[in-house]
Amino acid sequence: STAIRLFFDRRDTISIHTLVAAAQGIMHDLLTKQAPDKGSFLKTAIVVRPDKKDEYFKLITDAQNFFKHADREPADAVLDFYPEAIEFSILDVVDMLQRYTRRHQPDAIVYLLWFVLKRPGILEPNELLQRLTQRIQARTEGLTDGGRKQRFLEMLDALDLG
């Protein structure tokens, strides 16, 4: 919830990444205790070719390892950081949280709606999600990415007010 709010509020990307990575690790561990193959879709990499798994895992863990172990890095170390990757990590946590709790959290639904509008065609079609995104799309049409995030932050605020 906090990471989603920070994301929509366009706060510090590294802080968001760190918070999401921690949540991702916790949720992955909880789910894999229930069933070893049911954890993070990013961490299980079941759709990645076997000969590309090392490259894939390095790509998705470089930033997390860099931030966690910065004191071990050389003074001139540089990280190729891709802030867009946070969008997929948040999606991963939202997915795991919903599978673990068997409930749809309101902030997670708001994030899913944003994700579907931002990256159409990535998620499997879902009738309810499609209807909701069509209704919201008209209200966010023509907004910049920052403006759209602001609109979704307003939706979270409205949910908090009940």
pLDDT digits (tens, 9 = 90+) for 48-106: 678 887 877 777 778 777 887 778 888 888 878 888 889 989 999 999 999 999 998 99
Please give the model's pTM, rounded to 2 decimal places.
0.84
Whether pLDDT at 45 is above 80: no
DSSP assignment of 50-102 equals GGGHHHHHHHHHHHHHHHHTGGGS-TT------TTHHHHHHHHHHHHHHHHHS
Whether pLDDT at 110 is above 90: yes
Whether pLDDT at 148 is above 70: yes
